[in-house]
Amino acid sequence: MVHIVELLAESDRQSLTLAEIVRHTSLSRATAHAIVSELTARGWLSRDPGSGRYGIGPDFLALARKAGGADHLQRWAATETRALCDRFGIPFFVARRSSSDVLTLAAHAFPPHLTPGSEPHPWLRDGSRIRIRPPICREFVAFDPPADREAWVARASESSRTRLRVVLDVVAERGYSIERMTDDHVAVIEALGSLDTMPETLRNRVGDLLTELSVVDYLPEELESAAAEEIPVVTIGAPVFGENRRVVAAMVACPNTTLPLPELRTLAEATRASAAAISTHLP
């Protein structure tokens, strides 16, 4: 399979017939046909119905672009997280969208007094996976097409959907999400991450309960009304955009404390600007 893809990816060959693939690979015709049929079904190859010639398909090209973008993301994520960590003295991380609904940790930076495995950020470990499910990861969903946003909202409990829709509009307008700090926040994140091991019906019910227990984000008027007080904040997440303005990652600040509103806004804007800087380096 790999040999066929490499053969067609060579710059001097734009397409080959099945007979030519058999000749170049020494595979039997039946084996070669089975392989190219599977690759075509996956979108890794495309077949010209007129000539019957095979070439590299759109899904393989998209995967290659994604891999190239991932390399750029890794490089600039490490640079930006360290710069922000040094400036603000709190942890930062970049979460990469590794599939349509799964995030993985791409880079992180911790100040000297904290380590990646310590409290209060036990989920910040290399290889950590987070599901993009309500109510978290809103900065990934807020910029999606309306149909995709609504599909995500529909996964939440009915009682929380109206607020989620409003919050997504707010996140899209200001450019970042704010996770409220509660005593149960770490437990909620870890519970959401463990739902994949549950049967689907139980997973949906537990997810609904967790959403109902969470007060989702801060609306502008809520921030203004709390301006005279310090505002509890766990994380601030800003989107990193890739091809076609799709959110491919997020820069996340982890203050996990209470902040005066001006300090919160300074931190949020710095996080948003850093995410935008990473976006400029992605193909």
104-118 tens-digit pLDDT: 888 889 898 776 555
Cβ proximity of 52 and 16 under 8 Å: no
Determine the pLDDT at residue 186: 47
DSSP 190-255: HHHHTGGGS-HHHHHHHHHHHHHHS-----HHHHHHTTTSEEEEEEEEEEEE-GGG-EEEEEEE--
- Please name every residue paired with 96 in a beta bridge, in sequence order, or none if there are none: 104, 249
Q: What is the pTM (predicted TM-score) of this model? A: 0.67
Predicted local distance difference test score (pLDDT) of residue 40: 86
Predicted confidence (pLDDT) at residue 41 exceeds the cutoff of 90? no
- Closest by Cα among 48, 49, 40, 51 to 4: 40
Q: Determine the average pLDDT of the residues in 1-25.
A: 75
> Across 21-30, 69-78, 143-152, 192-201, which has the greatest mean pLDDT?
143-152
Report the C-alpha gap between 145 and 209 in whole angstroms: 26
pLDDT band of residue 190 (cuts 50, 70, 90) is low
Percent of the chain with pLDDT over 70: 76
Please say if the pLDDT value at position 183 is more than 70: no
pLDDT given at position 138: 95
What is the CATH class of 2-56?
Answer: mainly alpha
Out of 8-12, 13-17, 219-223, the most confident range is: 219-223
Query: Would you say the C-alpha torsion 87, 88, 92, 94 has a positive or negative sign?
Result: negative
**SS3 label, residue 256:** coil
With helix as H, strand as E and coil as C, how does 76-109 read? Answer: HHHHHHHHHHHHHCCCEEEEEEEECCEEEEEEEE
CB contact at 8 A, 264 and 247: no
How far apart CA 41 and CA 34 sit, in angstroms, is 11
The predicted-structure confidence for 211-256, as pLDDT tens digits, reads as follows 544 578 999 999 999 878 899 998 999 999 998 889 999 999 999 8
Q: 111 by DSSP, 3-state: which?
A: coil
Q: What is the pLDDT of residues 43-56, one digit of tens each?
A: 888 887 777 888 87
Interhelix angle 58-88/261-280, rounded to 10 degrees, is 140
Q: How far apart are CA 38 and CA 12, in angstroms?
A: 24
Average confidence (pLDDT) over 119-146 = 76
Mean pLDDT of all residues in 91-116: 84
Domain range annotation of the chain: 2-56, 65-280
Contact call for residues 130 and 108 (beta carbons, < 8 A)? no
Produce one character per residue of 24-47: b if its CB has 16 or more CB atoms within 10 Å, e if not: bbebeeeebeebbeebeeeebbbb
Whose structure tokens read 């710095």? 270
Q: Residue 118: what residue type?
A: S
Does the pLDDT of residue 78 top 80, yes or no?
yes
| Rounded mean pLDDT, 263-277 | 97
pLDDT at 127 over 70: no
Just give the CATH number of 65-280: 3.30.450.40
Summarize the confidence of residues 184-207 as an average pLDDT.
53
